[in-house]
Structure 1
Amino acid sequence: MALVAAVRGPVRVLLRAGARLPGAALGWTERAAGGGDGARRFGSQRVLVEPDAGAGVAVMKFKNPPVNSLSLEFLTELVISLEKLENDKSFRGVILTSGACPAGGCLVALSCDYRILADNPRYCIGLNETQLGIIAPFWFKDTLENTIGHRAAERALQLGLLFPPAEALQVGLVDQVVPEEQVQSTALSAIAQWMAIPDHARQLTKAMMRKATASRLITQRDADVQNFVSFISKDSIQKSLQRYLQRLKEKKG
């Protein structure tokens, strides 16, 4: 499938190969207003899917307030929803919509084929882990570097930069910046371009381009988890995280 990210924040266009997580079942279905033949919305507590089988596209909306944090529960529901669409041959593309995209949200956007960001200073995108006193995992780093190049990625990662729309476009982190009310229509136009290409050719090309990054993650996943747990458990790191959270509380206050 093709994946497009749309952020009101980004919209992500997603043309996607498989992934799997165990977990929860989807909670409900209902007929989608204005959908294609037999189209039914379905969803769970944190993810809403609005399919249009006639167009071969589904819009997936994140609804895990207040900031769509990537909890295990949210990610499980997300993958179940994607698998449901992927197993239905009526669908060839998915548009993911979310809000601002720091850290893990940025990685989700980078995993998509095309990224569209609303032209609103409230929305930003980037890997800001160093601002919390931690470091981005190597697979975050690899994906960012693949997208914007080594030097720009090195600077962004060291400074924990969150890019507003114009800067995100300039550095190549997103592909388009459009008025907020045009985000979804732009995503639909963009995904049509991807779906015009024969699936097998596009998918094999995508796999070829991303093989090294994916293979490195698969072979080093267990070690990466162990290293992260060891790192995040250090007293100095916990104190740094607490200071960051306190600054956020003060800013909101």
Structure 2
Amino acid sequence: MMSLVSFAASRAARQLIHRRSLSKRYFSSYHEKILTDINPETGICKMTLNGGPANILDSEMLEAAVKAIKFAETSKEVRGIMLTSNFDGKVFCAGLNIMDLYQKSHEHVFNYWTRVQDWYLSWYGCSKPTVAAINGHAVAGGCAWTLMCDYRIMQAGTGRKIGLNETRLGLMAPFFLVDLITATLNHRPSELILLQGMLLESEDALKIGLVDDTANLDELAKKATKQLNSFMSIPPQAYSLTKLLLREKNLKKVPGIREEDAKNIADFVTSHKVQERLRKYISALKSRKEA
């Protein structure tokens, strides 16, 4: 018969193996677009965007993002989520995939947009604490992703920008992106950013409240962890119910008009004028890469 000592040692070994098995999990079957690391001691789930070189929100990244946050939402081991990039000092996320909007059928754009809607609903509607550790450019959809989080800490210094530049590409901001930024800033600064397609460096973003804090790159994860710990010190039910109460009005808009919204976006994007603007933008990007 197994002794109490042997039993305790065996149990401890099983628990250690279990903890190690939790230490790294991959939720994307799409070339590991998102690397997910759960710390079983703190309950923090670190999600690292790994869709190089710019973490573009193509269909695979959008689906991986939804799967990852839904798993974290339902996992008993996860108490808080940190979102960051695998490309330190370069790119956090460069936004939606232009190639999913250019020279594509109405049906393709419609289906792509339903994935964008799912991404928004799952991340903005996550009941657990979420903190974005922004370690590179966060442009357009990349900025939107940070606005879905409960707190934003951006890498300090010059050279990295955050903002919503859709209008500069000839695109309109979707209504839920307008909701995201106006829920974060007052109406007037939101209006200026959206209408002018503004991109801001970290200090300017901090001044207007687009980000909540800045940190040097080597301190970014530490600050994000500290903020998550602060959020996680609040009783979970009180935190989640209050968070969803604050966001409920905006979240309820999408389900009722999903098809209409996707159709309107597809109509707009596939129009000749918008396609021509996208063609010029893509051509300019190619010229820059070749220079």
Q: TM-score, normalised by structure 2?
A: 0.72
Gaps of 5+ in 1: 1-34
Q: Runs (4+) of structure 1 moved beyond 4 Å?
A: 35-38
Letter in 1 for 2:187: H
Go from structure 1 to structure 2 and tell me whether the alpha carbon gap of 1:36 and 1:168 turns closer, same or farther (over 3 Å shift).
Answer: farther
- Answer whether contact 1:36 1:51 (CA < 8 A) is retained: no
Query: Going by fraction, where is helix more abundant, 1 or 2?
Result: 2
100-109 vs 228-237, which deviates more? 100-109
Aligned counterparts of 1:71 and 1:120: Cα–Cα separation in 2: 29
Aligned counterparts of 1:221 and 1:106: Cα–Cα separation in 2: 22
Q: 1:53 aligns with which of 26, 36, 40?
A: 40
Counterpart mapping for 1:29-178 below 5 A:
38-43=21-26, 44=28, 45=31, 46-98=33-85, 99=92, 100-178=137-215
Aligned counterparts of 1:111 and 1:227: Cα–Cα separation in 2: 23
> Taking CA–CA contacts closer than 8 Å with sequence separation of 6 or more, which of the two structures ends up with the larger relative contact order?
1
Letter in 1 for 2:219: Q
Deviation at 1:36, TM superposition (A): 5.5
Gaps of 5+ in 2: 1-17, 86-91, 93-136
Aligned length, in residue pairs: 219
- 1:175-195 CA-to-partner distances (Å, cap 9, x unmatched) read 011111111111001100100
Deviation at 1:94, TM superposition (A): 0.7
Q: Does 1:208 align with 2:245?
A: yes
- Answer whether contact 1:36 1:55 (CA < 8 A) is retained: no
Letter in 2 for 1:164: E
Larger gyration radius, structure 1 or structure 2? 2
Deviation at 1:165, TM superposition (A): 0.4
Deviation at 1:38, TM superposition (A): 4.6
- Answer whether contact 2:157 2:203 (CA < 8 A) is retained: no
Secondary structure in 1 matching 2:36 = strand
Aligned counterparts of 2:209 and 2:254: Cα–Cα separation in 1: 23
- 1:18 equivalent in structure 2: none
Q: TM-score, normalised by structure 1?
A: 0.82
- 1:201-224 CA-to-partner distances (Å, cap 9, x unmatched) read 111111111111111122222111
